[in-house]
Amino acid sequence: MPPAAGLRAFAVLHTGWMDDDRQQQAEGVGHLLRMGWFRPVHVKAITAREQRARLAARTTMVRQLQDLENSVRGLLRGFGLRLATLRRRSWSGAVRALLDGHPSLPGILEPLLQAREALRDQLAALDRQVRDAARDDAVCRRLMTVPGVGAVVALTFRSTIDDPARFRSSRSVGAFLGLTPKRYQSGETDRAGAISKVGDATTRVALFEAAHVLLTRVTKWPALKAWGVRLIQRRGAKRAKVVVARKLASVLHRMWVSESDFRYGIPAVAMEG
């Protein structure tokens, strides 16, 4: 049975209601479909697109907040004022304290500080939406049993993959997200390069951050972390985090398909590859 596009093309051929140019185009499409020269495209569910929209809105808000803070820091630096690295809650108060006594800067920067506080409030609202969406989704709750994977990473992975059945193997998920090395082959030359970076960049970055948290902040020592630490000793931290991110993609997909939570006691040998 040809796909929906093929059915429409064949219907056009049989009904003949289009003009000659479109008729020829439809006939060409029909021949291509019969020969198999087409690539099926996965259309994501509406819930996955809604999750992506929520995550994209949160990312935009984070970037706007960072840009605003950097602008304030740049304006302060022009007057010889340096702001130390602070927590976000005390950031505006530290800026106001630094401006205390200056004749004109408080009036100049106060609108930026108020805009920043408004952005923080809206970002907190989006964060609550992301946490609630992850908590209400059974797949995300299962994915969050992996150390280092939080609500943002789980929801990002879930909305990107959408349907785990479209991957024949969990190993192919890493390649789908651009976490596998590129290869250059010509004659006797066979060279592996950097990762391909194809696919969704947001999910790739989220998995890399999850790997960083797993290797540097998680206090427990599952086999995956022990394997990653050995990779750091052999290949360096950056490469090891990329490899662990690729492994995380496979592990998350396998957990999703098998409907099982993360197991800490998997032998380290199973992590090789």
pLDDT in tens, 237-272: 999 999 999 999 999 999 999 999 998 865 433 344
pLDDT category of residue 189 using cuts at 50, 70 and 90 = confident
| Residue 163: closest CA among 48, 9, 17, 246 | 48
Does the pLDDT at position 4 exceed 60? Answer: no
Model confidence pLDDT, tens digit, residues 77-126: 999 988 887 777 888 899 999 998 888 999 999 999 999 999 999 999 99
Does the pLDDT at position 43 exceed 50? Answer: yes
Reduced to 3 states (helix: H, G, I; strand: E, B; else coil), residue 14 is helix
Does the pLDDT at position 142 exceed 90? Answer: yes
**Average model confidence (pLDDT) for the chain?**
86
Beta carbons of 208 and 242 less than 8 angstroms apart: yes
Distance in angstroms (rounded) separating the CA atoms of residues 106 and 79: 13
Distance in angstroms (rounded) separating the CA atoms of residues 114 and 92: 9
Quick one: average pLDDT of 4-11? Answer: 48
The per-residue pLDDT for 88 is: 76
Does the pLDDT at position 35 exceed 70? Answer: yes
What the block records as the tokens of 146 is 């992996």
The per-residue pLDDT for 273 is: 40
pLDDT category of residue 128 using cuts at 50, 70 and 90 = very high
All structural domains of the chain with their residue ranges: 46-136, 147-271
Beta carbons of 207 and 195 less than 8 angstroms apart: no
How much of the chain, in percent, has pLDDT values that exceed 70?
89
The per-residue pLDDT for 36 is: 73
Reduced to 3 states (helix: H, G, I; strand: E, B; else coil), residue 41 is coil
**190 bridge partner residues:** 185
- Measured from the Cβ of residue 157, the count of other Cβ atoms closer than 10 Å reads 26
The per-residue pLDDT for 132 is: 96
